[in-house]
Amino acid sequence: MTIYDFTMKDNKGNDVSLSEYKGKVLLVVNTATGCGFTPQYESMEKIYRGLKEKGFEILDFPCNQFGSQAPGTDDEIQEFCTMKYDTTFPRFSKIEVNGEGESPLYSYLKSQKSGILGKNIKWNFTKFLIDREGNVVERYGPNTDPTKILKDIEDLL
Give the three-class secondary structure for 77.
Answer: helix
Which residue of the set 35, 51, 77, 156 is catalytic?
A: 35
CA distances to 18, 87, 92, 121, 148 from 84, in Å: 27, 8, 18, 26, 22
DSSP H helix total and E strand total for the chain: 4, 6
Closest CA to 74 of 59, 99, 94, 48: 94
Is 35 among the residues known to form the active site?
Answer: yes
- Annotated catalytic residues are 35
